[in-house]
Amino acid sequence: MCGIAGLIYKDKSVNIGTQLQGMLQALKHRGEDSTGYALYGDTDGENFIMRFKVGENVGEGSSSVSEETSVYDERIKIVKSHILGMGAKIIKEERILPYSLRYEVSYDEKDLREFSRKIESVPGVEILSMGKSLEVIKDLGNAKDVCDRYNLDKIVGTHAIGHARMATESGVDIKSAHPFWGYPFSDVSVVHNGQLTNYWNNRRLLENEGMRFMSECDSELIAVYLAKKLRDGATLKEGMKASLTGLDGVFTYFVATKDSLGMAKDTMAAKPLVLYESDNLIAMGSEEIAIRAILPQEIDTYDPYDGEVKVWQI
């Protein structure tokens, strides 16, 4: 059991870090092995924001092996040299935690595939997100733990999706935590509640077509599946609709891009979702109490039906 939450404001920016934290914290009973945020903040849109990790959080029940901090330092040096070697320029760098970093990068190329491949060729390094608005922050612990650790309450933006995870199919570590970046597409992220039963078959097919998997978490398949559809020229909604038959199992997932938020529910409607929709705000979560965290007044909500796909634009 996991919990997912998402919100999008169509006409204004708010403190989305704080709002999503409230929603996810309300769902912490659905799992607090790890919590992840995909926040679409207000930026000037000039540079890429790259969130990446050079190691794992080895505390808090982690299934990862401990490493020396000096190993992280060495990896960071190599990452920097790779960035510069590809003609990109680091505008701003922050080391949030020993293993977690945020870089603002000036990079003119539109295709992030080669860039990402080069960075991730360094053992232990994974790009959590890359985009001009998107920032994926995920770590072990509940929503408040992660929010406090990464100072997410300061992030202002229009929309966000998040995930409170109870690990069932793969390890308790950052690489298996949601959200997943829709590599190599800028500003695409996915969170999922459910279980996919044709993960390995799909993974083999997609890897043969050059797609990249970083974990053994079945949910990552959705991000890769949608990325493949986008690569083939489908719109986001077309890709999501195809996923209803392409993915087997039970699922409710959210996907977000730079200017949109979408949801899809499997044809069995086996996983919960409660949705609130008004002219300027859409808020949704695995349980109504997530929505109540930001809208305590009496509101009208509903459960989307089986096989339903919805996308909202800013």
Partner 1 sequence: MANLKTTDKKSKSQSMGMHSEVLTGRTQQKFFNPSEAESFYYFGTYDVDFNKRTDLDVKEMTAAEVNKEIDNLMSQGYGTIVIKNPQGKHSLGVGILNKLNLIFEGSLGYFGMGSCDGPTVRINGRVGWSCAENLMAGKVVIEKNAGSCFGAAIRGGDLICKGSVGARTGIDMKGGTIIVGGDAGAFTGFMMQRGRIIILGDVGINLGDSMYDGTIFIGGKIGSFGSDAIPADLTDSDQDWLKRKLKVAEIGEKFDVSKMTKIVAGKKLWNYDNLEPHEKKGAI
Which residues participate in catalysis according to the annotation? 2
- Total binding residues for partner 1 by CB under 8 A? 20
Give the residue, chosen from 60, 73, 77, 302, that forms a contact with partner 1 under the rule CB under 8 A: 302
Q: Which of 237, 262, 238 is nearest to 252 (CA)?
A: 262
Q: Which of 217, 262, 258 is nearest to 239 (CA)?
A: 262
**For residues 90 and 289, which CB has a smaller minimum distance to partner 1 in the complex?**
289
**For residues 181 and 251, which CB has a smaller minimum distance to partner 1 in the complex?**
251
Least distance from C-beta 272 to partner 1, angstroms?
Answer: 6
**281 touching partner 1, by CB under 8 A:** no
Least distance from C-beta 42 to partner 1, angstroms?
Answer: 30
Give the residue, chosen from 13, 81, 121, 267, that forms a contact with partner 1 under the rule CB under 8 A: 267
Least distance from C-beta 270 to partner 1, angstroms?
Answer: 8
**291 touching partner 1, by CB under 8 A:** yes
**Segment lying near partner 1 (by CB under 8 A), choices 16-24, 75-83, 229-237, 303-311:** 303-311
x-or-dash string of contact with partner 1, 67-86, rule CB under 8 A: --------------------
**For residues 137 and 274, which CB has a smaller minimum distance to partner 1 in the complex?**
274
Q: How far is CA 175 from CA 53, 62, 139, 300, in A?
A: 9, 11, 9, 37
**250 touching partner 1, by CB under 8 A:** no
Positions in the binding site for partner 1 (CB under 8 A): 267-270, 272, 274, 287-289, 291-292, 296, 298-303, 305-306
